[in-house]
Amino acid sequence: MVPLGERNMSEEDIERTQMISVQDVPEEKLQVRKTKTVRRLSSTGRKLIMVLMIAAGAMVAYSGWKIWSGLRAYRKGDAVYENVSAAAYTETKTNEAPAEKKDRVSFAALAEINPDVVGWLKLDGTVIDYPVVQGSDNEYYLSHMFNGDINVVMGSLFLDCEADPKFKDRNTLLFGHHTNNGSMFCVLEEYKKQEFYDAHKQMELQTPDGDYILEPVAGRVMDAKIPFMLKQFANDDEFLNFVNGFVENSTFAADTAVTAADRIITMCTCTDDFQDARYVLICRMVPED
């Protein structure tokens, strides 16, 4: 057996080997891990971020409002023109004899809604089935519908304010909006495609003084900054040169041609080909028998 004294010394030695003295630990292991420094924004920085967040929120809200108001304006505009169409066609069918019934509008009913009415334009198979008006200037009907309500996205189809309201000019100018919902004159730029012309070679223009078949002759994209809408011509050659300039640059090849004895109607609307671009369509006016 191990003597008691030696046994006690051995136990003390064991305890000492199990104990770790602070002095025996490397200094680098005793260093307390430093916490990361949190950099706080200055009051100016916080205010700047707040301003940017408010501005971004305002932009999102404004964009949403613009989309909502645009859709609302289109819905209201479509409803107005549906009501105008219903009144015009219903009046005709009520008053005409059965043998005379056809898709003809009543200008008496239209004049009760708006005395500025001068015609009705229709292109079968499309949304173009609208009244045509003429104001004292070329601004009012850009933002006013047929019933007088303000609607800047649709407005009305309107003649140039200086045009003969009976469509007796050699060239009658007709304007309408290019809309985002496909209404009004948005359809006109479909004449950029030959297949559309092939399927839509005639329009119908009704007026209080007689009706016309409109035959598209040429269409082209023009720059609104460059004058291109001639209303009067010095002679036949100037008139034919004007028409031929469109024919030579037309987006489609037409079956019909214009002679010096013809009258034309020139329709104009916006297009997104480039800034201030317009799509211009020339039609030959053929009186209906």
Active site residues: 270
Sequence-ordered list of residues with C-beta below 8 angstroms from that of 101, at least 6 positions apart, any chain = 92, 93
* Structural element, H or E, at residue 17: helix 4-18
Round to whole Å and give the CA distance between 169 and 171.
Answer: 5
Beta bridge partners of 157: 132
Supply 262's token pair. Answer: 């013809």
d(C-alpha 179, C-alpha 156), whole Å: 11
User: Is residue 244 a contact partner of residue 162, using CB atoms and an 8 Å limit?
Assistant: no
Count CB neighbours of 137 within 10 A. 10
**Alpha-carbon torsion 269, 271, 277, 283, what sign?**
negative
Cβ-proximal residues to 134 (8 Å cutoff; 6+ apart), any chain: 116, 118, 158, 159, 160, 161, 163, 165
Residues 120, 109: Cα–Cα separation, whole Å: 12
